[in-house]
Structure 1
C-alpha cells in the first residue's frame, strides 16, 4: 500500500512538471515565432531603405540575509589581507572599485608607493566609466538539478546537462551578461522608528553589460535522481570547496563539479568579471527529501507505518546526524556568498487553497529552516503566484501569511518578457525564467 501511494505521488508530481514544461515550451515557441517575424520585417525594411570580491563588503543591499555578516566579513578579511594587492585586483575585476581603492590605501607606505598610486588612479578612472543600470532591467534565469550522465535521461526527455550548463555560462559571458545578487534589486531602508521599506536598487556596470540573477530550484537531490545520472549531494572537500558527490555507473563515488554550485564557482574563478561584487546564486530549498542531498526531514527517520512514504524504497535515516552534516555545507555556502530561498516543501501550488499553501509553508519552516536557517526569499513552486500582476496588499491573506513568516522577496514565472520587477515599500517581486533545457535557454535569449 505504501509503495503504491509513493508511486502515485511521484507520478502526479512528474506529470504536473511535464505539463508545465510543455506549456512553457509552447508559450516560448509562440513568442519566438512572433519576434522572428518582427525581426525579418525590420531587416527587410532596412534593406529596402539603405540596401544593405566580495558580497561581504556590499552595504545597504539587504537588512536581513541568510548569511551571518560577521562570519562573511571574517572570511573576506582572511582571504584579502594576506595578499592585499591581489585582493584589490579581484575587487576591481568585479566592479567594486571603491573597495579596491580602500584596500590599496590601507597598505603600508601606500601614499609613497608609485605602483600603488598608479593602481589607485587606474581604478578611479575605471569607476568613472561605469553606467547606472536600473534594477528593472535585471533578468532572472532559474535552473534545475543538472544531469551528469546523459545515458540516464528518460526516453523522450532532454534535461539540462552539466556540459550544457557550462556552455550556457560561456554564452552568457560572451554576450556581456554579469551575474548580480538578488538583493541588488532593492535596498532596505530603515526609518527612525525602525520600520523597513524597499527602494529600487541601482547597479553600476560598464556600458553594454547586462545584469542577471541566477537561481537553482529544488536543491534536495531527491531519491529518484541521486545515483541515477545525477549528483547525490553537496559536500565540503579537503580544500574547503563545496563540490558534489556523484555515484558513477560502475558504483564508485567521485567528487567534483557535477551541478550548479561548483560549476558556477569554477567559472567565476576563471572569469571574475562575470560576477558583480562577488555575487553568486540563490538556492531554492524543499523539504520533502531533505536539504542539499542530506535526509534531514524528521519524518524520514520513521517507518512507513509511522508515516514515511519513502521508507520501503529507501530505508530510514538518522536525520539528526544528517542535519548536522548538512549545516557544515550550508555555512560554507553562506560564507561563499550564496543565498537560500524557500521553494516550498513539496511542490504544492501556492495558487491553490489557502489551507494547502499554509500547510506547505509551515512544513518548510519545520523541515528546512532548522537546517538552513530562515530566509526572506520565496521562489514560488509550480510556476504559481498568490495574486495577479497588480500589487500585493494586506487584503491578500496569502500575502499577509507569508509576510508574517518573514518573506519579502518573491520570485514568479515570467514567460513573455525578458525582465519584470515590482519594488514596493513592503516587498520585492521579480519575474524569472525557468530553464530546464538548452533549447529553453535559447528561446529565452530570443526575447532580447
Structure 2
C-alpha cells in the first residue's frame, strides 16, 4: 500500500469515527431533551397536586388553628372584641392578621331546598316551604313527601292572631359606651332619657322571645289592594301563628348616625361585611376602629339567626330615616353636596357624596333582603302636629328628593317625629286635618305611627293604618324600674333589663 492509499483509507476511517461520535451526541441530546420535557410535565403535575392539597386541606388547617393562606378578607370578619390598631390619618382599613373564611361544600339541589324549606317553616311560612319542595318535582321521594306532609300538618295547627291587638315598640340608636354617652351634660341627659343601651336591647328581645312574641311588618297588618272598580283600598290581612304566639311590630328611629353623635359612644355608620350582611363601624374612645354588632340591625340579625321563629316570614324591624344629615352615617344630603346650591355652609362638604349615595343604595337593598322595611321620619325631624301645611310640604319635598331615591322601594310608612300626630283619635278624612292628610296621602304614605303609652292603639281606614308606638328607652325603663309606673310588664321584666350603669334618676329631657 502506497502512501496515498494509506492516507485516503486513514481519512475515511477518521470521518467514519467522527460521524459515529456526532450520531451518539445527537442521540444523547435527544434523550436529554425528552428527559427535560418529562421533568417539566412532572413539575406541572406536582404543582397541580400541591394546589389541590392546599385547597382541600386549608379548611381543616384553619379549624385546627393553623396558618391561613390566600388573600386578606375585609375587616368585618374580625370579631368586635379583638384588639385593633388605631387608624392613622387617611387610613380606612384595620391593621393586623385576618383569617380567610373556609369554604363550605356545596349542597345538592335537594339538600338546599330542604334547608330553605325548613327555615321557611320555622318562620311560619308553610306555604312557601311546601312550594319550595314541590318545585323539585320529586313527588316519589319519600323524604320530600314526608316533609310536605309535616308542613301541611303544622300549618293546620296555626290560629289567627287578633289583628286589633298588635303592640308596637321602638328604639333610637343604641348606646355602645355609656361612659361617653351618658355624661352629666344636657346632651348626656337627653341620651339617658331617649336611648337604650346594647345590653338592655339584647335582654328585651330575649325576654319578648321567651314570652312568645313574634316580629311582623307593618305591611303584614294590611295593604292597599285594587278593587273591582279600579280603585284601591286598605284591606286588613290575617296573621297566622301557633297557639300562644303574639305578633308585634318593632321600629328604630333616626338611623342616620347624626354628626352631633360622633365621639359620644355610638356607632359611626352602617357597612356591609364580605357576605353582604349589615354591620356597624364603631370608633372607641382611643380612636380604634372596628366592625361589628354595634346597633339594632346586626344584633337583631344575630338573634334571629339563632331563633328564626322570632321573625314572622323572616320579617324584622321598620328602620326610619330623616334626611338632613344624610342616611346610615353617610352625608348624602344635598346640604353636604359641594356642587349643590343647597350646600349648607355650616356643614362639612362631602366630596364623595355620589359614591356614598351608591353605597347607601347597596346597604338598603341588602337590608330589605335581610327582612327590614323602611319608614320616613320626615326630612328635618319636624313636628307634624304643630307645623303648617307649607312647611310640611317643603319638608316632604326634601325627603322625596334626598332620601327616597336611596331606598329600594317607594316609602309608605311615616313614623311621626316626637310622636306628634296630625290628628286626634278620630279616623283621618280627606279634606280634614288642615289638608295635611291629603298632602301625605298624595306623597304615598298609608301607614302612620304616633307615640302612645297604651299597650295597643290601632286604627284601620279605607286608605290608611294608624298605630301607636311604645318607647322602650331610658325614661320608660326607669319609670318601671323605680316603680313610678307599670307600662312594660306585659313585655319584659324590667329588673332584668335595666342597665344599672345609667345615671339615675332618669328624667325626661
Fold shared, TM-score > 0.5 on shorter chain: yes
* Cα separation, 2, equivalents of 1:401 and 1:408: 11
Partner of 2:389: 354
* Cα separation, 1, equivalents of 2:252 and 2:122: 25
* Cα separation, 1, equivalents of 2:346 and 2:295: 24
Partner of 2:489: 446
Partner of 1:320: 354
Name which of 352, 361, 364 aligns with 1:330: 364
Partner of 2:80: none
Equivalent residues of 1:435, 1:441 under 8 A apart: no
Equivalent residues of 1:300, 1:310 under 8 A apart: no
* Cα separation, 1, equivalents of 2:318 and 2:414: 10
* Cα separation, 2, equivalents of 1:223 and 1:92: 42
Structure 1 unaligned regions, length at least 5: 1-77
Return closer, same or farther for 1:374/1:120 CA change in 2, 3 Å cut-off.
closer
Which range is displaced more, 405-414 or 98-107? 98-107
* 2:329 is equivalent to residue 293 of structure 1: yes
Matches within 5 A, 1:9-408: 83-109=112-138, 111-155=139-183, 157=189, 158=192, 159-302=195-338, 308=344, 310-311=346-347, 314=348, 316-352=350-386, 353-372=388-407, 374-396=410-432, 397-408=435-446
Equivalent residues of 2:334, 2:343 under 8 A apart: no
* Cα separation, 2, equivalents of 1:379 and 1:206: 30
Equivalent residues of 2:217, 2:316 under 8 A apart: yes
* Cα separation, 1, equivalents of 2:109 and 2:282: 32
* Cα separation, 2, equivalents of 1:79 and 1:339: 32
* Cα separation, 1, equivalents of 2:393 and 2:320: 18
* 2:455 is equivalent to residue 418 of structure 1: yes
Q: 1:323, CA displacement in angstroms?
A: 1.1
* Cα separation, 2, equivalents of 1:436 and 1:299: 30
Equivalent residues of 2:224, 2:232 under 8 A apart: yes
What count of residue pairs does the alignment treat as equivalent?
A: 367
* Cα separation, 2, equivalents of 1:80 and 1:445: 46
Q: 1:299, CA displacement in angstroms?
A: 1.1
- When the two structures are superposed, what TM-score results if normalisation uses the length of structure 1? 0.77
Return closer, same or farther for 1:423/1:441 CA change in 2, 3 Å cut-off.
farther
Give the match's secondary structure for 2:450: strand
Return closer, same or farther for 1:315/1:105 CA change in 2, 3 Å cut-off.
closer
* Cα separation, 1, equivalents of 2:109 and 2:308: 15
- State the Cα deviation string for residues 33-57 of structure 1 (Å, max 9, x = none): xxxxxxxxxxxxxxxxxxxxxxxxx
* Cα separation, 2, equivalents of 1:441 and 1:89: 42
Q: Which has the larger radius of gyration?
A: 2
Give the match's secondary structure for 2:239: strand
Q: 1:303, CA displacement in angstroms?
A: 10
Equivalent residues of 1:376, 1:406 under 8 A apart: yes
* Cα separation, 1, equivalents of 2:125 and 2:109: 14
* Cα separation, 1, equivalents of 2:110 and 2:441: 40
Partner of 1:43: none
* Cα separation, 2, equivalents of 1:83 and 1:376: 34
- State the Cα deviation string for residues 99-122 of structure 1 (Å, max 9, x = none): 21222223343x222222222222
Structure with more relative contact order (C-alpha pairs < 8 Å, separation 6 or more): 1
Q: 1:359, CA displacement in angstroms?
A: 2.2
* Cα separation, 2, equivalents of 1:444 and 1:337: 29
- State the Cα deviation string for residues 388-437 of structure 1 (Å, max 9, x = none): 1101111220000111111111111111x211211111111111112223
Return closer, same or farther for 1:88/1:304 CA change in 2, 3 Å cut-off.
closer
Give the match's secondary structure for 1:445: coil
Give the match's secondary structure for 1:135: coil
Q: 1:310, CA displacement in angstroms?
A: 3.7
Q: 1:304, CA displacement in angstroms?
A: 13
* Cα separation, 2, equivalents of 1:230 and 1:359: 31
* Cα separation, 1, equivalents of 2:198 and 2:490: 24
Structure 2 unaligned regions, length at least 5: 1-106, 481-485, 492-509
Return closer, same or farther for 1:245/1:406 CA change in 2, 3 Å cut-off.
same
Give the match's secondary structure for 1:137: coil
